[in-house]
Structure 1
């Protein structure tokens, strides 16, 4: 009885400490918001990586004195730093674009509750809106249509994955839209095999899944014998199927987080080809946004060069001359013009900067067609490096 009582006491102490930690985290987040307010007036960059590095080094040293290893301390505070940066960026963007500040937003995404696009939508707007009006769609084309018609404010679209590469259908659709890219999000993707009932892997004969997860989990799937893949329009639709069938022979590929919304159980975790599996999403809207100068920005454009040797190289040289870093170059066929290609380019630059405006002017002279798809704050927060001793 004494051991049981002691365990209960210890658990209560842990619960009390967790509550204290949450209060301290909330206080720290409030202070970082004050930092953002200060930077808004002084026009200073959101990130000061030298200070971040000095902070981590000091905290690691203090942690060692308290019996905490460096890896543990680094992981915790890199997460806190990332949260601080993203909250400051969200605040500065609201100041820069006061006309779009609203407590409620409507978002179109692929699938239903539990899909990766659904989870990405909630993660993105968790810092920006109090309520999300969900609008699940059956296709990427429908997402764009709902935004263009004004039915919803935004559309969330997956654009590329670290395992399966670019999502060509989305790139092709962007050729013929007047929408603007106004945001991006990199979402960790942890594919699991989910079931509606307790079962064994050897009993599974049917897997419901969207085509992208199937491609990203091909190594795992190729090792399974006698399993039939049934393709679905979204991961959420696959989860619906498993929930309806309640069969020990059926599984779906999806996230553990999404599966919880359907009371699905993780049978096998981390089945993707790559351990570090991320999908990049873009957010589209009817009107562009301005990006505050304190925030790292990306500009996405499409261009078509002349059919002459070295035409694309000439464009890339222009970027080099202006010191603009290119993070993505994707070629896609021009619809209705066989053997001709359109190039999608992501640049680390603010569209309103003098360098970017001059660069665009030069590129316009060299290309047959050029169109800016959007300028937006980058949310790919690179961890601060800690010196190795």
Structure 2
């Protein structure tokens, strides 16, 4: 099993991929479009992507890529996110002047930087990538914020664990496959869906009424602009699935109000562990 991820080995995406398949071979990619391209082209068997963080919100780029590629969500998992200050062995917090990490990780550790004003937070493309760079440079005046797994993978030292401002920090990850290879899940209790309503009065209300009429519980809805079509929007929703028949009925009713409907996946909802 080869699973593509965006980022370097030791990243949170790496950890999530191993939750899906502990014996998987991880295929790191520099950018998210590369993850989707490799999956569609058949270079890998599956891909693991973050889709939403409980503090930072949705990864909107991944919603857009899900919409435009012939893939589907097969599984979901929730990963607790714990940020660690990592440095070259022998470094000291008091002597650090810069700390690198992904912008979202830096934003989730504001308290640490407020307590250490001499340290400059520096955005980097990936949490684990920042540790990889750190260990290549061997600069004891710099640090990185990433997972404990990244520290172990690259040989860094954890100077301070659990830097996150909020302990209730979780990220939803999707496991995707090519659409024609996703098997029906008889235990599925959640659906992710994208739709675009007709540009006329009442269409969004009518689309949402389709869920109400079937007593379907919407757990998430947000809009994204349609590229090249100003002031037109795609709506992304998650809803709880009571039965496959209800899902089919909801799709049928949505078609009456929408110019586009695409089911992104039916799967079992991830659960917070511990």
- Measured against the shorter chain, the TM-score band is over 0.9
Shift of 1:138: 0.4
Higher normalized strand content (fraction of residues): 2
Q: Displacement of 1:237 after TM fit? A: 1.1
Which of 16, 24, 37 is 1:120 aligned to?
Answer: 16
Whole-Å separation in 1 of the counterparts to 2:217 and 2:90: 50
Query: Are 1:379 and 2:270 matched, yes or no?
Result: yes
Question: Which runs of 4 or more aligned residues in structure 1 lie more than 4 Å from their structure 2 counterparts after TM superposition?
Answer: none
Aligned to 1:263: 155
State TM-score, norm by structure 1: 0.66
Q: How many residues align?
A: 272
* Cα distance between partner residues in 2 of 1:140 and 1:120: 16
Compute the displacement of 1:150 (Å).
Answer: 0.2
Deviations 1:349-379 (A, max 9, x none): 16x7112111111111011111111112222
Work out whether residues 113 and 121 of structure 2, in 8 Å CA contact, stay in contact via their aligned partners in 1: no
- Aligned counterpart in structure 1 of residue 2 of structure 2, from 99, 106, 110: 106
TM-score by length of 2: 0.93
How big is each residue's C-alpha offset from its partner over 1:299-340, in whole Å with a ceiling of 9 and x where there is no partner? Answer: 111001123344322222221221211121121111111111
Gaps spanning 5+ residues in structure 2: where? none
Provide the C-alpha distance between the structure 1 equivalents of 2:84 and 2:92, rounded to a whole number of angstroms.
Answer: 14
**Aligned-pair CA distance for 1:246:** 2.2
Give 1:343's aligned residue: 235
| Shift in Å, 1:198 | 2.7
1:194 corresponding residue in structure 2: 86
Partner SS for 2:18: helix
Q: Confirm or deny: 8 A CA contact 1:187 1:280 kept in the other structure.
A: yes
Separation in structure 2 between the aligned mates of residue 289 and residue 160 of structure 1, nearest angstrom: 24
8 Å CA contact retained: 2:66, 2:72: no
RCO comparison, higher one (Cα < 8 Å, 6+): 2
Can you list the C-alpha shifts for 1:25-71, whole angstroms capped at 9, x where unaligned? xxxxxxxxxxxxxxxxxxxxxxxxxxxxxxxxxxxxxxxxxxxxxxx
Contact 1:296/1:348 (<8 A) preserved: no
The 3 A distance-change label for structure 1 pair 174 and 376 is same
SS at match of 1:237: helix
Report Cα offsets for 1:197-229 as digits up to 9, x if no partner.
233322111111112212222343344323333
Higher helix share: 1
Cα distance in structure 1, aligned partners of 2:231 and 2:111: 33
SS of the residue corresponding to residue 135 of structure 2 reads helix
Cα root mean square deviation, aligned: 1.8
